[in-house]
Amino acid sequence: MASRFLPTFRRGVGAEESAAPPMETKDLADRVRSSSRYYSVPGQPYSPDWNVARAVQEGFQGNPWIFRSVEVICYTALNQQIVLRQGDGVTGTPLAARRDTSRLLYRLNKRANPWETAKLWRYRLLAQWLLSSKGLFVEVARNNSGGYALLHLLDPDLTDPIPSKTSPIGSFQMRTTVGDSGRIYNELPPFDPDSSASNSVLWIRSPHPTIMHRGMSPMEAAGLSIDLDRYARLYNRNYMQSGGRPDGILAIKGIAEWDTIERLEAKFNDTSSQGKTTAIQADAMDYKDLSTAPRDMQWSEVMDRMKREATMVFGVPESMMGDASGRTFDNADAEYAIFWEHRMGPLLALLDDQLDVLTPGGFDDELYLRHDTSDVWVLSRHKRAEQDRAAADLGRGAITIDDYRERIGLERLDVPAT
């Protein structure tokens, strides 16, 4: 990057042109590898670069467990309305939609832009949050009155943050194709609630532990497992397409005529099981099933391990994916509670904190953009348990009525005998 930036100033004004560098030579593998980001050659190492295109193609579209994990998280989030709480992000009263002059609630709950409903847009927003290690970029368009005209998701692979002299994020450039050779067709400033810019870009991302201006995706943690699963599926598919090994052995004891053997093979080796049965001369007839072999057991182990790792990395239990076999109802309920308390709750809180800048006063007003989770039963189980304990203490005379009301979140009466 530095070698291409202002080459004249790097040489110095008036400096003579240096001699042309020697022609770069590459072997065949390097040239093939650089010609396409999807091409693999023998000996090519595992690539940890999980851009959105690769994550969608190899993960979301090519792996059933990744697809289902992303789908469960997205659909669960779509069940919750987005509200603007007044005064406090947890206990504040939600603002009525008709009082939202910025039309932010309309864009997030009804229609995000002329081409997408709010639920379609929010599904893609959550999916990019999970699949993009670069983060996601929201184009925000405002009308003349300052209200929101549309919210539009940009392709993360085609959008780059560009630093300026005064800020590490001075603008965002959008390109037509992936790579440095892509033509830049637009450049927009970062979103600022106090700015008068009609179009801007809001950058949202899951935090990286050491790099502030970078996102983090579960695909990176599960990348090697996804690669192993993908190549194991392709290997077995190609193996079976090529005929595979015999599924069984037909043994004929004694000496049989070749005509007899050919008739037996023709009987078993029809078009639906070509190459799956072998006839061997013997003194009697017997059939040995070879459906269970070390190779099949290894394949099964890879699939089971991939499923466990995918559900663990994405934080989605198997019972939420539709497979509750081997679990009691209590165990399935416990997994549902863990999913909400340790996955969906923190994810939505982190997303809401970054979307909160879209409120009319940005981070400085008294409005808090939040997913409304007040109707999620499992999130209030600890509060209900405390209320039950308070009722039990009141019943045996251990506390007063005012103490009970205070413990369940109501105001004290402060009258005699309470």
Confidence class for position 296, pLDDT limits 50, 70, 90: low
How far apart are the C-alpha atoms of 179 and 24, rounded to whole Å? 20
Give me the sheet containing 184-188, strands edge to edge.
159-162, 171-175, 184-188
Please enumerate in sequence order all residues whose Cβ is within 8 A of that of 125, keeping only pairs 6 or more positions apart, or say none. 136, 138, 153
Residue with tokens 């509060």: 383
CB 138 within 8 A of CB 202: yes
> Domain check: are 108 and 161 in the same one?
yes
Q: What's the N-to-C CA distance of the chain in angstroms?
A: 74
If one counts the domains in the chain, the total is 3
> Domain check: are 263 and 320 in the same one?
no
Per cent of the chain over pLDDT 70 is 77
Alpha helices in 36-109 (DSSP H): 52-54, 64-78, 104-109
> Domain check: are 102 and 214 in the same one?
yes
Mean pLDDT of all residues in the chain?
79
pLDDT reported for residue 46: 52
Residue with tokens 């997205």: 74
In a domain, 2, yes or no: no
In a domain, 169, yes or no: yes
In a domain, 9, yes or no: no
In a domain, 123, yes or no: yes
Confidence class for position 301, pLDDT limits 50, 70, 90: confident
In a domain, 39, yes or no: no
Closest to 310 measured CA to CA, from 49, 61, 53, 64: 64
CB 135 within 8 A of CB 153: no
> Domain check: are 222 and 168 in the same one?
yes
pLDDT reported for residue 416: 76
> Domain check: are 153 and 198 in the same one?
yes
In a domain, 1, yes or no: no
In a domain, 239, yes or no: yes
In a domain, 348, yes or no: yes
Query: Can you give the residue range of the structural domain that contains 150?
Result: 46-243+293-373
Q: Would you give the distance in Å from CA 50 to the centre of its chain?
A: 12
Residue pLDDT, tens place only, 80-138: 999 999 988 888 889 998 898 899 999 999 999 999 999 999 999 999 999 998 889 99
Beta strands per DSSP E along 13-104:
82-86, 93-94
> Domain check: are 78 and 156 in the same one?
yes
- Does 2 have pLDDT greater than 50? no
Closest to 222 measured CA to CA, from 362, 147, 316: 316
> Domain check: are 213 and 354 in the same one?
yes
> Domain check: are 325 and 203 in the same one?
yes
Instruction: Among 10-14, 303-307, 331-335, name the one with the lowest average pLDDT.
Output: 10-14
> Domain check: are 172 and 300 in the same one?
yes
Confidence class for position 4, pLDDT limits 50, 70, 90: very low
> Domain check: are 199 and 72 in the same one?
yes
In the listed set 230, 260, 291, which residue is the last one of a domain according to the structure?
A: 291
Q: What is the mean pLDDT of residues 180-199?
A: 80
